């Protein structure tokens, strides 16, 4: 067991959302307390702002202007982050009510800073002072970033336009919250209790056992007379659509899944329309021609036009192989159904027949991997890979559920918010320093939002005397296949890829070591942030990586070499379909944010989306609703006008991985260089500079297509 970190013990105080040391006491983090602590943090920030406004040019220095600005709202940010975490993993009416009251206040406070004329004058004058040239390169970078953020937030606007800017930001925050709430509520509103097992023909024994357990826990069926529960939580419904032999079952599940954000009272179409109109107005107000131009100004891709060119170029390159793949799929479906080849495909058939065609073509069913991918083995294998590559140690801490601490426990357990949550500490092997800790919460529940993500909760304070920074703290959350009543959690390969992907983000957070906290970890250009996560997926396809975790959960036998060979054979099965799926979303995202008036305003959202993507798509018998109805990434997340970042980062990751392939994917020397040049540096330097430092050259734009065999 790792030693207790110096900052771990709880502080005495009445504000547990930020007076908590490294590990919060989650039993004290109530919705009501969160509201109080956030508002107290806001008051403290306002007091600091008042002092900053009075700084005269001759009194200004880095510490009292830019250093003070970096730490301006530290308490409020800490409290808000923890409240957001609870909302995403333990949603409740109390949390929703508090957030709905806080969101407008937080939005007004944020815009009040950049619209504060007196503060802006202090910052602008300090940024132009001669002493800035004597600052470190990282400090100079931060000075320019602060100036840019003020300008991009309307600091130079006249008062009437500043007021409108604040109104727009507040409205967008409220709409994003409503959008998220609709998606979560619509997801939880649907379930299907199946009484006839014939309707589930083709489903695996593991899935059937899990679905029966879920049904019993909700009062449906018994062990003697089981029922099977299907929900819209990711592992449940997606597996039915991919594996169930009964078309009527697949259709019903597909219709339910694609109704999220479409049906009353959860219809998000009006919210999407309002968001697009407001974002366009916001960009124009700040002098940008489109919202992507605004959000991409500080990213690797400079503007919306360049992002669109990247997406369009990728679509053109994969269109011919995509059409060929579609022709092959339609022919296979016709053969399987004993009917003439059609020109359209049922949308509930696509995933099912892709899997079936893959199985026939390669005599391999990916479900064979599941018994060899037990969750605990995958987690431990993953940790072993990256502790080896990055020369770190990762140890698990004992935990207890909020409010239920044992009277005596030799391992000094740490409090968590749910029984399934685990806690790990990361230490540097050379120095012994406690680099950071992370929570792991990877199984679905109705109170957790969909998807998988990493949320930094606290970046450790850097020091300037050569000693290590204080520890970071973050969460890795997901909705992966959960344990059954009598079986452990057995992961699909998609689950394995997902947790490796998110762990790439986690390593970016844990190994961050920058001069300024604002530059640490994932605080990078948004189209660079997915590089470490996309990179990590590669180890789930390599024999050396697979060997660390793939053993049969019952027998302990390693995964057969034949399975690994077949896995690799099918890795790029129908790669153009995989590429085009993401490019469809990236194209829709950019077109909506750049050309909303011409292509979407006044039109049905679903019809307009379908019309836009029709030239690139295989025709469907039933047109799916627009993905924008439930795409939290682009409405409430950080990918608005920037969903292309996933494919962009995938290109970068494919290119970066060529160095690992050349020098050894388990080579600690390459791992050390990657940790030093990419993971530790965060946003302390421009992303392209970091890339060149590691690769010794600019990115190869065709790296992904070459890897997939498409070029």
Output phi, psi for 187, to 5 deg.
-60, -45
Residue burial 38-68, b: 16+ Cβ < 10 Å; e: rest? bbbbbebbeeebeebeebeeeebebeebbeb
Are 206 and 450 contacting, i.e. CB atoms less than 8 angstroms apart? no
Are 427 and 387 contacting, i.e. CB atoms less than 8 angstroms apart? no
DSSP single-letter state for residue 490 = B
Integer Cα distance of 256 and 508 in angstroms: 36
Residue 473 burial (CB < 10 Å; 0-12/13-18/19+)? buried
Are 531 and 652 contacting, i.e. CB atoms less than 8 angstroms apart? yes
| H or E segment to which residue 656 belongs | helix 644-663
| H or E segment to which residue 75 belongs | helix 74-89
Output phi, psi for 447, to 5 deg.
-90, 5
- Both tokens assigned to 454: 């990493």
The CA-based angle 588-311-703, given to 5 degrees, is: 140
- Spacing of C-alpha 574 from chain mean position: 25
Integer Cα distance of 480 and 647 in angstroms: 23
Residue 265 burial (CB < 10 Å; 0-12/13-18/19+)? exposed
- Both tokens assigned to 264: 């009353």
Dihedral sign for Cα atoms in the order 408, 414, 415, 421: negative
Residue burial 380-407, b: 16+ Cβ < 10 Å; e: rest? ebbbebbbebbebebeebebebbeeeee
Q: Are strands 472-477 and 453-458 parallel, antiparallel or unpaired?
A: antiparallel
Integer Cα distance of 346 and 354 in angstroms: 12
Choose, from 178, 367, 502, 591, the residue flagged as catalytic: 502
Q: Which residues pair with 391 in a beta bridge?
A: none
**CB contact set of 627 (below 8 Å; sequence gap of 6+):** 584, 585, 588, 609
Q: What is the dihedral of CA 475, 435, 538, 551, to 10 degrees?
A: -80
User: 502 an active-site residue?
Assistant: yes
Residue 301 burial (CB < 10 Å; 0-12/13-18/19+)? buried
Output phi, psi for 428, to 5 deg.
-85, 130
Integer Cα distance of 272 and 266 in angstroms: 12
Local structure of 699: helix, strand or coil: coil
Indicate which residues carry an active-site annotation.
502
């Amino acid at each position: 067991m790792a030693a207790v970190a110096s900052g771990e013990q709880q502080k005495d105080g009445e504000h547990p959302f930020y007076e908590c040391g490294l590990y919060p006491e989650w039993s004290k983090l109530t919705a009501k307390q969160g509201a109080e602590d956030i508002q107290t943090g806001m008051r403290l920030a306002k007091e600091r702002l008042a002092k900053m406004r009075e700084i005269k040019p001759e009194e200004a220095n880095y510490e009292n202007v830019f250093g003070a600005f970096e730490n301006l709202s530290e308490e409020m940010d800490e409290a808000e982050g923890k409240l957001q975490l609870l909302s995403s993993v333990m949603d409740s009416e109390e949390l929703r009510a508090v957030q709905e009251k806080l969101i407008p206040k937080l939005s007004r406070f944020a815009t009040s800073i950049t619209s504060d004329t007196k503060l802006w004058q202090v910052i602008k004058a300090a940024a132009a002072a001669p002493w800035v040239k004597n600052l470190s390169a990282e400090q100079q970078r931060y000075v320019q970033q602060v100036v840019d953020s003020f300008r991009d937030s309307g600091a130079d606007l006249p008062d009437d336009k500043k007021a409108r800017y604040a109104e727009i930001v507040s409205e967008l925050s409220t709409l994003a919250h409503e959008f998220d709430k609709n998606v979560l509520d619509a997801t939880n509103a649907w379930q299907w209790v199946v009484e006839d097992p014939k309707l589930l023909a083709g489903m695996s024994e593991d899935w059937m056992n899990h679905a029966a357990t879920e049904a019993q826990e909700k009062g449906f069926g018994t062990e003697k007379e089981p029922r099977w529960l299907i929900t819209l939580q990711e592992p449940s419904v997606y597996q039915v659509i991919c594996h169930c032999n009964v078309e009527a079952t697949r259709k019903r599940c597909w219709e339910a899944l694609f109704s999220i954000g479409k049906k009353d009272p959860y219809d998000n179409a009006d919210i999407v329309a309002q968001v697009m109109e407001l974002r366009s107005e916001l960009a124009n107000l700040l002098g940008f021609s489109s919202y992507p131009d605004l959000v991409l100004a500080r990213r690797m891709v400079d503007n919306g036009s360049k992002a669109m060119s990247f997406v369009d170029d990728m679509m053109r390159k994969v269109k011919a192989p995509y059409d060929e793949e579609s022709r092959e799929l339609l022919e296979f479906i016709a053969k399987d159904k004993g009917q003439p080849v059609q020109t359209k495909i049922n949308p509930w058939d696509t995933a099912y027949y892709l899997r079936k065609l893959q199985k026939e073509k390669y005599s391999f069913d990916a479900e064979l991997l599941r018994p060899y991918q037990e969750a605990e083995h995958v987690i431990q294998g993953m940790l072993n890979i990256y502790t080896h590559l990055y020369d770190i140690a990762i140890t698990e801490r004992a935990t207890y559920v909020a409010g239920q601490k044992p009277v005596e426990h030799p391992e000094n357990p740490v409090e968590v918010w749910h029984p399934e949550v685990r806690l790990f500490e990361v230490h540097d092997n050379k120095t012994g320093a406690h680099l950071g800790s992370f929570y792991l919460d990877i199984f679905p529940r109705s109170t957790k939002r969909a998807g998988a993500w990493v949320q930094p909760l606290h970046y450790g304070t850097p020091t300037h005397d050569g000693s290590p920074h204080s520890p970071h703290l973050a969460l890795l959350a997901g909705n992966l296949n959960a344990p059954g009543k009598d079986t452990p959690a057995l992961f699909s390969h998609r689950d394995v890829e997902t947790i490796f992907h998110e762990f790439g983000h986690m390593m970016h957070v844990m190994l961050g070591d920058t001069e300024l906290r604002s530059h640490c970890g994932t605080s990078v250009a948004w189209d660079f942030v997915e590089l470490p996560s996309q990179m990590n997926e590669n180890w789930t396809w390599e024999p050396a990586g697979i060997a660390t975790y793939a053993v049969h959960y019952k027998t302990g036998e390693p995964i057969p070499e034949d399975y690994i060979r077949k896995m690799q054979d099918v890795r790029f099965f129908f790669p153009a379909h995989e590429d085009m799926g993401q490019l469809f979303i990236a194209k829709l995202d950019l077109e909506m944010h750049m050309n909303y008036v011409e292509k979407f305003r006044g039109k049905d959202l679903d019809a307009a989306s379908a019309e836009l993507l029709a030239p690139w798509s295989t025709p469907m018998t039933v047109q799916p609703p627009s993905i924008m109805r439930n795409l939290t990434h682009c409405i409430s997340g950080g990918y608005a006008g920037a969903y292309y970042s996933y494919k962009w980062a995938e290109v970068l990751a494919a290119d970066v991985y060529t160095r690992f392939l050349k020098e050894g994917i388990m080579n600690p020397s390459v791992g050390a260089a990657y940790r030093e040049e990419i993971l530790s540096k965060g946003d302390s330097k421009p992303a392209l500079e970091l890339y060149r430092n590691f690769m010794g050259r600019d990115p190869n734009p065709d790296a992904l297509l070459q890897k997939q065999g498409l070029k």
